[in-house]
Every structure is written in C-alpha cells, then in structure tokens.
Chain A
Amino acid sequence: MAARYSVARAARQLTSAAARKPSPFVCQRWQQASQAQRLFSVSAALKEKKYTEDHEWIEMSADGKTCTLGISEYAAKALGDVVYIELPQVEMEVSEGDAIGAVESVKSASDILTPISGTVAEVNSDLENKPAQINKDPEGDAWIAKITVVEEPKGKLMSKSEYTEFTEEA
C-alpha cells in the first residue's frame, strides 16, 4: 500500500530517483491530503447497531462522532477460520464503500468495506497477532476499526432484526 505518512512521502519524493505516479488503487483515496476535520455527529437513528448487506456492522458512540466497525457473526461463520486481517491505517481518510482492509480465511480473501465516510481514529491491533479472535467474538472484542464520521451514511443499513431476516433469505 502506498505511503500513508505524508512526511515520509515528501521525503521520498525528494530522494527517490524515480518519482512514481500515485498508485491507481482504491487506496489512493487514502492518500488524499487530509481535510480540515469538520465537526459532525450523526442522527439519533444511527445510534443503535446497524448492519450492511456486505455483512459489516457499525455502532455509534454516545456522542455520535465515532463509529465502531466490525464484521457480523454471520460473516465470521461463513468465512471459516480467519488467518489474517489487514487493518486500515490510523488517520486514513475513508469514503463510504471503500475497501479499508481484508480478511483471509482458508485461502479466501474478502474485502472489508466501510459503510461510512470519515477518518480512521483507531484500529484493533490485537487482531494482527490474534486474527482468530474474529471467529470468537466478531461483534464484540474483535471489532476492526473506529472511524470519526464526517457525514451521514447514504447506503442501506439494517437493524439487527432486519439483518437477521436478510441473512435468512440468502
């Protein structure tokens, strides 16, 4: 992944013989110059835990400024034994729908998508050493990242009961 440290990046651009064009990855967005942090808190409706059709969950903090993101129990079960989790980087800017990391289980890679735009405030580094935690407590201790939100999510979010129905239909 491209450098996410702007100082390091600047230094490299000075020293690197071949200045490289920015990577065309999804994660290119991660490199964008950080905007001034806008103060924002989401509406009350989002404060209960919500689920996406991609099997992630988000839960807002009491002040409505930060949301915790993880993968659902259903997803963890479907993936099988998780052997590696690629976490996003702290301070990375993310936009709704971006792949912010990945999970690998039994030779399978799956992307972790964020249903909300903002800045990564914290990641669950314990998962780097103990990826199998994801299978044990995906909706609790094995949360993936905390994101400082900058806007209301636009995509479809479901309540616990709606999500259960959604997974049963599948």
Chain B
Amino acid sequence: MAPSRGDSLACARRIFAACNCPRTSLLAPRRSYSSLLMGRTAPWSLSLPSKRPVAYRRFSSFVEKLADPSNKLQSYISSSDDPYLNLSIEHVILQKSPADSTVLFLYVNRPCVVIGRNQNPWTEVNLGILNGTRQMQNPKGSEPPAMRPVDLVRRRSGGGTVFHDEGNLNWSITCPRNDFTRDKHAEMVVRALRKLGIQRARVNERHDIVLDQGHERRASDPHDTHRTLYTVDQGTLPRPLKVSGSAYKLTRQRALHHATTLLSSPNLHIIPQYLRSPAKKLIEAKGVESVSSPVANIGLDVKAFQKCLQAEFANMYANLGTPSIIETVHDEYLNIPEVRKGYEELRTDDWMWSQTPQFHLSLDPSVDIGVDMDVHHGIIKSVDFKGSLLSTEAQQDLRIMLLDQKLQDIHNWTRFLQTRLKKWDERSAAVARRLDELMPIPAPSMSMSD
C-alpha cells in the first residue's frame, strides 16, 4: 500500500506544481505575504482551511500515511528552511504518528533564534539586534553577510535558547514514551558522528553532545558513547565544546526529542551577540534560564551527515524492518490544515510574547531610571517609581497608562509614551529611550519579503 500512495503523492505534486505557477504570479504582487511561500504556494491556500479545496486532498495523504498504524518506522527530511513550518510539521508528527512508531525528521532552518517554551525572550535574546537585522535587510542590499534577517521563534519543547542557521542540522525523533530516555537518541547521533571520524564526540551529563578537547589519550571503550579517549574529569580543563543541544516534548504516549547539530555554521563568532541580553541582570524571571556553553562546529558537510544519520537510524531500528516511508517534506506542506494551524499558532504575538512566564523588571534609581514593573502573562500588572526623575504627575499618568497594558502591543516605547503623556520633556524621553533599549518588541516576525 505504501509505495502506491507514495507514487500518487509524487504525481499529485507534479500536477500541483504545473497548475499552480501562472496563478501565483498573478496574485503574488497583491499579497504582503512571504514571496518565498507565495512562489511555491497555491493561491487557494490562503482561504484554507474553511473551503477544503483541491490542494487539501492532495496533501492530506501526508497525515494519512503518517498516521497509518502499519507505518512503524518513518523517515522524513525537509527541503524548507522555514523554522515555523519545520517545527509545525514536527508537531504534526508528534500528534499524528502511530503510538508505537518511531519517526526521524531532519531539517535545516534559515538563521533564527529559538527559545524554549517557558523562557523569557527579553532575558535570553538581544532583541535590539534582531530588530536591527530586520530593519537592515530592506533598502540597499549592502549589509555584511553576518547581518541577515534573523527570526525569533518560541518552540513547544522545553529547554534553553539556541541559534540555528544553514550550517546547523536539526534532528528529531518521535518515539513511544515508554521506550524513551533522554540519552537514547543522542547516543545514536554520537554513533553516526563517530562513523564519520568524529572520535571526540560523546553524550554529556546534560544529554547534549560535546567534543572532548583533552590532549592525552586515555583508555576508553570505543562503544561507550558517554566517554572518549580524550574525556577529562568533569570540571577540569580543557572544557569540552558543545556541538548539539537537546530539548523534549512529552505527551501521554509519545516523546519528541529534538536537537541542534552544529556542523558548519558560518555564524559561530556572532552567536553570543544574539544570545546576550542587556536586560538580563535587571529582570528576575520565573521559568527556565538557559545554561550557556562554549560551542564549536563539528566540521562536517550537512548533506553527508544527513545521510549517515538516516543510515544509523535505520540500523538502530532494523528490528522494525526498513522505514516504510522515506519522504521529503517541503514548503507546500503549509497547505495541510494541521500543519498550517500549528504554523499560525507559532507566529502569533500571544505565543511569542505573552507566553513568557511572570517576571519583574527592576531599574534602580541610583544607576537607572527608577522604575519597577511586574509582568504576568505578558500584561503589566504593577508599575512603581522609586527615586524617579519624572514629575509626580507624569508618574501617575504613566502608571495609569501602563497598568493592564499588554507588553506585546508596545512596539516602540518612545512613540507609545509620546502620544499618550500630557507633557513630553527630556526626562520622559530618557525613560522611554531606556525602555526601548531594554524591552524592545521586534516587529512581528514577518517573512523575509515583508
């Protein structure tokens, strides 16, 4: 059954592509939507899912095959570099794959910063430079290669903040919850790395993958994925370099383990800039704080490692047979209603900003503007002034204005305050400037063409 379905999908895709092009070119200029997507997406996709047009039926076979109980072992790779789309396809895999199946999914995203489900973007990310990169992309095309648009994404799994780009391969395994351990698939990836000659790779105590930097060779079992010839005692130098970070999402029956793999990122030197926030020391946040680690590139080609990892996966689960589905997913999968739903959820301001766990911003009057703020579920719940230079009247106005204000709707503090405060002077301008520095809300994460 599976092969014939595969054929019909491939066939459907060809027909789809053929009839899609002319209409797309007519419609594209009118939409302020991603040209990346528009270029390959059917115009009717915009009306989904209410009308369930032709495209729906053509791509619904993805979910059908994914959910077919006979497909115990499945292997997917994405040709899309859209982080929202890839995370949403991954989420559909978690929700729809059979309870006893094991599914591999590989994808590479365009440059983006991805925070964990329960993290605070203001403390984890240098939002000011994300803003900067977004604004710089527009006019003259003269930006240095490092300053390309960088998306900000909140994923559904736990854990800390990571940077993705074209030199980073994301691998994900969805498997039965009862078979799951946090190390199991990290060990699989270490075996794949060692087959390509990366003998210093091992799984560490945080279930991440590191490269040992020791100088001397010490005795070690070559099959031990938690130790190499170069492992030094924990806490002693030289410190291992992290090359892969893991996170998990658990449901009743299923476990999703996904992780980054830094193979050949051209951005290693600037990653720390993106992940260092000017507000970090001033915010006391509930939720999950990232543990920062020195990172390195493994120095492998993305394509070569993908192949090796797919082979290692097939090898590990050979007892279940060969993968009954091996498929490339792509941008047009956004037409699948289940995928689109997850995609749109990830792109809402509510998910990105208001999902932030409760936090307290404290700007000391002796060195700062003397404002304290409590934010719950993205809404300002208290504003206090201590030794502020603002007039009592301005303080009162500001408090009334900000209480119960949703932070995500203040894209520019200066503009926001200037249009609302009765008196605008040097002091209020200074307060607004400082808040713009510390608490920016980058423009909604539009696609590249916006």
Binding site for B on A (CB under 8 A): 1-5, 7-8, 11-12, 16-18, 20, 23-25, 53-55, 79, 83-84, 86, 89, 102, 104-111, 128-129, 170
> Contacts of B64 on A, CB cut-off 8 Å?
none
Give A24 Cβ to nearest chain B Cβ, in Å. Answer: 6
Checking A5, A17, A89, A109 against B156 with a beta-carbon cut-off of 8 angstroms, the contacting residue is A109
Checking A4, A84, A86, A106 against B182 with a beta-carbon cut-off of 8 angstroms, the contacting residue is A106
Does B355 contact A1, Cβ atoms closer than 8 Å? yes
Does A55 contact B158, Cβ atoms closer than 8 Å? no
B83 at interface by CB-CB < 8 Å:
no
Report the bound CA distance from A54 to B344 in whole Å. Answer: 27
Does B117 contact A128, Cβ atoms closer than 8 Å? no
Does A110 contact B251, Cβ atoms closer than 8 Å? yes
Assuming the A-B contacts A1-B355, A107-B248, are A84 and B406 also in contact, with contact meaning beta carbons closer than 8 angstroms in the complex?
Answer: no
Going nearest first, the 3 A-B pairs with the smallest beta carbon separation are A107-B159, A108-B248, A8-B404
> A-facing mask of B245-287, CB < 8 A → 1, else 0?
0111111100000000000000000000000000000000011
Does B350 contact A2, Cβ atoms closer than 8 Å? yes
Assuming the A-B contacts A53-B252, A106-B182, are A86 and B118 also in contact, with contact meaning beta carbons closer than 8 angstroms in the complex?
Answer: yes
Does A25 contact B379, Cβ atoms closer than 8 Å? no
Interface residues of B in 292-335 (CB under 8 A from A): none
Assuming the A-B contacts A54-B252, A84-B288, are A3 and B117 also in contact, with contact meaning beta carbons closer than 8 angstroms in the complex?
Answer: no
Interface residues of B in 355-385 (CB under 8 A from A): 355, 357-358, 377-379
Looking at chain B's contact residues, the main secondary structure is loop
Binding site for A on B (CB under 8 A): 116-118, 156-160, 178, 182, 206-207, 246-252, 286-288, 341, 344-345, 348-351, 354-355, 357-358, 377-379, 404-406, 409
Does B379 contact A8, Cβ atoms closer than 8 Å? yes
Does A109 contact B345, Cβ atoms closer than 8 Å? no
Checking A5, A11, A107 against B158 with a beta-carbon cut-off of 8 angstroms, the contacting residue is A107
Report the bound CA distance from A108 to B157 in whole Å. Answer: 6
Residue of A whose beta carbon sits closest to that of B259? A107
Report the bound CA distance from A54 to B404 in whole Å. Answer: 35
Give B403 Cβ to nearest chain A Cβ, in Å. Answer: 9
Does B248 contact A3, Cβ atoms closer than 8 Å? no
Residue of B whose beta carbon sits closest to that of A54? B252
Does B251 contact A104, Cβ atoms closer than 8 Å? no
Does B158 contact A12, Cβ atoms closer than 8 Å? no
Checking A1, A83, A109, A129 against B248 with a beta-carbon cut-off of 8 angstroms, the contacting residue is A109
Checking A53, A108, A170 against B249 with a beta-carbon cut-off of 8 angstroms, the contacting residue is A108
> Contacts of A7 on B, CB cut-off 8 Å?
404
Kindly list 20 other residue pairs between chains A and B, CB separation below 8 angstroms, not including A7-B404, A16-B409, A86-B357.
A1-B350, A1-B355, A2-B350, A3-B377, A3-B406, A8-B379, A11-B404, A24-B344, A24-B345, A24-B348, A54-B252, A55-B252, A84-B118, A86-B118, A107-B116, A107-B159, A107-B160, A107-B207, A108-B248, A109-B248
Of B117, B157, B350, B404, most A-chain CB atoms within 10 Å: B350
Assuming the A-B contacts A2-B350, A53-B252, are A109 and B158 also in contact, with contact meaning beta carbons closer than 8 angstroms in the complex?
Answer: yes
Residue of B whose beta carbon sits closest to that of A105? B158
Does A25 contact B350, Cβ atoms closer than 8 Å? yes
Assuming the A-B contacts A107-B246, A111-B251, are A2 and B207 also in contact, with contact meaning beta carbons closer than 8 angstroms in the complex?
Answer: no
Does B117 contact A104, Cβ atoms closer than 8 Å? yes
User: Could you name 19 residue pairs across A and B whose Cβ atoms are closer than 8 Å?
Assistant: A1-B354, A1-B378, A8-B404, A11-B404, A12-B405, A12-B409, A23-B351, A24-B344, A25-B351, A84-B357, A86-B118, A107-B116, A107-B159, A108-B157, A108-B158, A108-B182, A109-B116, A110-B250, A111-B251
Give B381 Cβ to nearest chain A Cβ, in Å. Answer: 10
Give A15 Cβ to nearest chain B Cβ, in Å. Answer: 8
Does A109 contact B357, Cβ atoms closer than 8 Å? no
Residue of A whose beta carbon sits closest to that of B340? A24
> Contacts of B288 on A, CB cut-off 8 Å?
83-84, 104
Assuming the A-B contacts A24-B348, A25-B350, are A108 and B250 also in contact, with contact meaning beta carbons closer than 8 angstroms in the complex?
Answer: yes
Of A1, A11, A83, most B-chain CB atoms within 10 Å: A1
Report the bound CA distance from A111 to B91 in whole Å. Answer: 14
